[in-house]
Amino acid sequence: MRKVVVLEHISLDGVIQAPGGAEEDTSGGFGYGGWVMPYSDEVSGKLLRKQMDSPFDLLVGRKTFDIWEPYWSQHADIWQNVNTATKYVVSNTRTSSQWQPSVFLNGDIAEKVAKIKQQQGPDLHVWGSGNLLQTLIKHDLVDVFWLMIYPVTLGSGKRLFADGTIPAAFKVTESTTTSKGVIVVNYERAGAITTS
């Protein structure tokens, strides 16, 4: 069974919007695009490269796909695996792309993702995709949260757990703190919540 792995840059107050650049996502008047850049170092670079070099398919929302498509399709020298990965794109407006292989999904996304998880293939990596994330979380489809937690609060912006969560337990399987205070942690599902 394939896992859904959510990979996110996240602030202390839960914001995941526009970590990579000023123009990445200014919706809602967000003015802090590129907020992760001052925290880059060799350790975080190596950890990101490890994820980028692993086998995966992508599961992303249309807005993230629209941002990535023109850039990553032309930069195989930086991230070759993103071009060969199947890109499952959740969209009510797009149905095709020249950036292949791409599969466009609409309708009951939770049901479709559950079926894809049952198929043979690599894990499904989710980057960005704030609206899609809320659907995945609501329907208990996330198996792993691989988070880079930055020592900054942003006050506003799209949040990882914007619509709340379902009760679930996780275990830490890997954790590193970078020289600039970024905590990189891998949380894997560990069943139901237990109480004393």
pLDDT, average across residues 114-124: 98
Q: What is the mean pLDDT of the chain?
A: 95
Q: What is the pLDDT of residue 177?
A: 97
| pLDDT per residue as tens digits for the range 36-79 | 999 999 999 999 999 999 999 999 999 999 999 999 999 888 89
pLDDT, average across residues 105-121: 97
Per-residue H/E/C for the chain? CCCEEEEEEEECCCECCCCCCCCCCCHHHCCCCCCCHHHCCHHHHHHHHHHHHCCCEEEEEHHHHHHHHHHHCCCCCCCHHHHHCCEEEECCCCCCCCCCCEEEECCCHHHHHHHHHHCCCCCEEEECCHHHHHHHHHCCCCCEEEEEEECCCCCCCCECCCCCCCCCCEEEEEEEECCCCCEEEEEEECCCCCCC
pLDDT, average across residues 180-189: 97
* pLDDT band (50, 70, 90) for residue 150: very high
| pLDDT per residue as tens digits for the range 8-35 | 999 999 999 999 999 899 999 999 999 9
pTM of structure:
0.94
| pLDDT per residue as tens digits for the range 71-111 | 999 988 889 899 999 999 999 999 999 999 999 999 999 99
Could you tell me the domains of the chain?
4-172 (3.40.430.10)
Q: What is the pLDDT of residue 196?
A: 82
